[in-house]
Amino acid sequence: MLTIRCATALDVSLILDFIRALALYERAAAEVVADEERLRETLFGESPQAKVLLALWEGSPVGFAVYFFSYSTWLARKGLYLEDLFVLPEARGKGAGKALLQRLARIAVEEGCGRLEWSVLDWNQPAIDFYLSLGAVPQSEWTRYRLSGAALQEVAGPGEG
């Protein structure tokens, strides 16, 4: 039987395991710098930055979803952004991914969100096919940009010391 539940601080080690498994699948394992302490603080500390849902098959964790609320100026409403969705390869096909997305959609509706959004790697055809099967529409007119590391520091410039 499949169940979905909200993660707690007791799940930090499991969440980190899922993050590492996702990064390995996405061919980016070396990029993970998260650790349990930082996850505990940013997910369950004084000012949580995101929330986590866990999918359990017969009581065993098989997947997770990390999400946070964004804001749309055009809609003048908040949105729900899905940062990560991952189901263990051996558990795929049992409905965990769909159940996680259904719960996220329910949260978005209950919270009055104008939309639920996420990104997917362009080579991840199984995920793309899954999202299309749910009625999701790709936003091909947008190009995502990122500043990080040294480039982010350079643009930020010196602090107001």
The residues annotated as belonging to the active site are 131
The 3-state DSSP class for residue 130 equals helix
C-alpha pair distances (Å), 99 with each of 11, 87, 95, 161: 19, 11, 6, 48
Helices and strands (H, E) in the chain, number of each type: 5, 5
Q: Return the DSSP state at 114.
A: S
Q: What are phi and psi of 74, to 5 degrees?
A: -70, -35
